Every structure is written in structure tokens, then in C-alpha cells.
Amino acid sequence: MTSEGWSSQRLYRPFIRASLITAIVLEFSTGAAILVMPLLGMDRSLTWVTHTQSHGIAQLFGWAGLFVMGFAYHVVPRLFSSSIRYPLPQKLSMWLVIAGLVLRFSGQNMYKTSLADPLVAIGGVALFVGMLIFSWSLLDVVRKSPKKTGPAEIWILSGILWAFVGGALHLSMTIRMAIDTVPLVNTRWS
């Protein structure tokens, strides 16, 4: 659905809110726990490492990722003087990324339960599909643009490519974790 007033919708706002909520709930609290655990005499055990990895993914795709996605959905159509399909693809990409983060975070930190592997795998798939929709939506904007912006187009396209690649790498890591029934990403990926 293409709307004439899509730019007045300010779709970036839910992404910024989600970014901040993700930062407070998943990242800052986990980051503080990671710092406090050794101070309280707790060993840097497997729990500490799973928290560290899930904190990093939440920070990368949550706080930073959702913020950049909202910013891109707001700026790229304006930069290319093109319309964007509103609102389903954007909202869907945001909710899939959030669901993927929460599922991965929960699954990795509940590594002693039988739910861990399915949660991690489903989280990886959800996050990847969210990044795929994000990439597709922005590529559609660039593709149907009446004006090409030269160097800006190269930067935007490379950013879109890296969003897709990041989601694909995350998917491969989470699927491998689920298949091998391991609570941590292989150290060569860390």
C-alpha cells in the first residue's frame, strides 16, 4: 500500500522507542550484570559468557540496529525523492527484529533448558527475516527512485547489503548453535 502522506507518519519514532527500550531492558541491565558478577565474586563461567554474547547481539541489532533502521526508513526515501510502502513492511521488520532479539536472548540465557535451542533458532530466523524485509524495502525505494544521488547511493546500497549480511551471519550462527546444542557461538565468530 502506497500512501501519499507516508512522510507525515513519522515511522522512525517506534524504531527509536524500541531501540531505547531494548537498550534499557536487554542491554544496559545485562551489561551491568556482566560487570557486577565478577565484583560479587562470581566466576566468569558459562553464564557470564552467554550473557556477554547475548548482550552484544542485543546491542548490535537492538539499540544500534533499530535506531539505524528507523533513521534509514525516514531519510532514504527523502534522499532519493521516492515513496516507501507504508506501513506493513516497516512495522513487520521492526517487530521481527525485536522478536528475534528477545528469543535469541532468552534462549541463549536459558541454555540449561530444553527450550534453549528452539528459541535460539527461531530468534535467528525472525531476526533474519526482519533484516531481509528492511533490506528489500529500502532497495525498492532506491530502485524506483527518479533521481540517483551518486556517491550517496553507493553508501546507502552498501549499508543495505551489510544489514542483509549481518542478518544472514546471525542466522547461520544461531542455526549452528541449535544444531550443535551449544549455548555459545563458536569462538571464531566472537
Burial of 36 (0-12, 13-18, 19+ CB in 10 A): exposed
pLDDT 10s digits, 21-58? 999 999 888 888 888 888 888 887 888 888 889 999 99
Average pLDDT over residues 142-157: 84
Kindly indicate the confidence band of residue 8, based on its pLDDT and cuts at 50, 70 and 90. Answer: low
Asked if 186 and 176 touch (Cβ cutoff 8 Å), the reply is yes
| Rounded (10°) CA dihedral 14, 15, 20, 22 | 110
Q: How far is CA 86 from the centre of its chain?
A: 20
Confidence check: pLDDT of 63 > 90: yes
Domain boundaries, the chain: 11-180
Burial 14-23 (b: 16+ CB within 10 A, else e): bbbebbeebb
pLDDT at 1: 44
Of the segments 38-42, 82-86, 110-114, which one has the largest average pLDDT value? 110-114
Spatial distance between the Cα atoms of 176 and 71, rounded to a whole number of angstroms: 32
Cα separation, 160 vs 130, in Å, equals 13
pTM: 0.89
- The mean pLDDT value for 153-181 works out to 94
Average pLDDT over residues 66-94: 88
Average pLDDT over the chain, rounded to an integer: 88
pLDDT at 3 over 50: no
Determine what percent of the chain is predicted with pLDDT higher than 70. 93
Secondary structure class of 2 (helix, strand, coil): strand
Rounded to an integer, what distance in angstroms lies between the CA atom of residue 109 and that of residue 48? 9
Q: How far apart are CA 128 and CA 65, in angstroms?
A: 12
- Is the pLDDT reported for residue 185 higher than 80? yes
User: In whole angstroms, what is the distance from residue 123 CA to residue 180 CA?
Assistant: 16
